[in-house]
Amino acid sequence: MSIEELLRNSVLQYVADESDRQAYSVYLGYKDRCTMLSFEEAKKLWK
């Protein structure tokens, strides 16, 4: 499993248990550390 897949899975796991507002906060945190996910990609994953 790639690092990108691990990040996506960890974000998806978090989103599954929390609100969209918190999920967006997590996305911003990841965005500050890496540029693997665009906001558009993240929105697709969260739906």
Give tens-digit pLDDT for 2-42: 877 777 777 767 655 556 667 777 777 766 655 566 777 77
**35: Cα within 13 Å, side-chain hemisphere:** 0
Output the pLDDT for position 42.
Answer: 72
Contact yes or no for 32/22 (Cβ under 8 A): no
The set of long-range contacts for 2-6, using a CB threshold of 8 Å and a minimum separation of 24, is 3/36, 4/36
Domain ranges for the chain, please list them.
Answer: 3-46
From the number of C-beta atoms within 10 Å of its C-beta (0-12, 13-18, 19+), residue 30 rates as: middle
Output the pLDDT for position 7.
Answer: 75
pLDDT of residue 47 exceeding 70, the answer is: no
